[in-house]
Amino acid sequence: MTLNTFHSVVVALAMTVLVANTVAAHRAARVVKSSDTDGCINNITNGIEQVLSAAEEIGVAVIDCGAHQTAKCVAAISQTGADIAGAAADVSNAVSACGGRGSLCVTQLLQLSKDLAETGNEVALAADYCTNSTDIIECVADVVDIAETVTKIVESIRAAVNDCKSNSTKEAERLMILKKQHQ
C-alpha cells in the first residue's frame, strides 16, 4: 500500500465517522427545534444552529486537510472555531434568560459553556497543528476528534432544552395557579 493510498483510506474512514456524527447531530437538532417565543429556549436553539454550522465546517476541514490543501483546511478549522464561539455566546445568553428556571437547566447550560470553551481550545490547537505540520493523518484525526466532541455537545444541548422546557412548563403552571388564586 502506497502512502497516498494509506492517506486516502484514512480520510475515507474519517469522513465515515464524520458523516455518522453529523447525521446524529442533525437528528438531535430536529428534536430540539422550538416555535416557542421563550428567550431561554430560543437562545439554546440558536446555539445548536451554531454547533451544526461547526459540524459542517468540520466536514469541509476533513476533506481539505485530507487533500493537503493546508490553507483551506486551516480556514475551515478557523470557521469551526468561530461557530463554536458563537454557540458559546448563545449558551451564555441562555444562562441569563433561563436564570429563574431551576437549577438543573442552568447547571446544564453552565456545563455546556465550559464544554464549548474547551472545544474552542481544541479547535485552536488543531488549527495550529494543521498549519505547522506535515502529518496529515494526525491533522485529520484531530478534526475527527473535534467532530465527536461536537456530537456530544449537540446531545447535551438537547438534554438542556428538555430540562429548560420542563422547567418553563412548570413555571407557567405555577403562574396559572397563582392567577386563579387571586381571582
Render pLDDT for 113-170 as a digit per residue (tens, 0 to 9). 899 999 998 988 888 888 888 888 888 888 888 888 888 888 888 888 888 877 655 5
| Cβ proximity of 32 and 158 under 8 Å | yes
Collect contacts of 124-130 with beta carbons under 8 A, ≥24 apart: 124/81, 126/77, 127/74, 127/77, 127/78, 127/81, 130/65, 130/70, 130/73, 130/74, 130/77
- Can you give the pLDDT at residue 85? 93
- Can you tell me the mean pLDDT for 32-61? 78
**Contact partners, residue 133, CB within 8 Å, separation at least 6:** 139
Q: In the predicted model, is pLDDT for residue 22 greater than 70?
A: no
Q: In the predicted model, is pLDDT for residue 36 greater than 50?
A: no
Domain 3-181 indexed as CATH 1.10.287: no
User: Any idea where the domains of the chain sit in the sequence?
Assistant: 3-181
- Can you tell me the mean pLDDT for 21-38? 50
- Can you give the pLDDT at residue 75? 92
- Can you give the pLDDT at residue 21? 54
Lowest mean pLDDT among 17-26, 69-78, 162-171: 17-26
Q: Which helix (H) or strand (E) holds 170?
A: helix 136-181
Question: Which SS3 state, helix, strand or coil, does residue 180 take?
Answer: helix
Q: In the predicted model, is pLDDT for residue 176 greater than 80?
A: no
**pLDDT confidence tier of residue 1, bands split at 50, 70 and 90:** very low
Residue of higher predicted confidence among 38 and 153 = 153
Lowest mean pLDDT among 9-13, 98-102, 104-108, 134-138: 9-13
- Can you give the pLDDT at residue 137? 84
- Can you give the pLDDT at residue 171? 55
Q: Does the predicted TM-score (pTM) go above 0.75? A: no
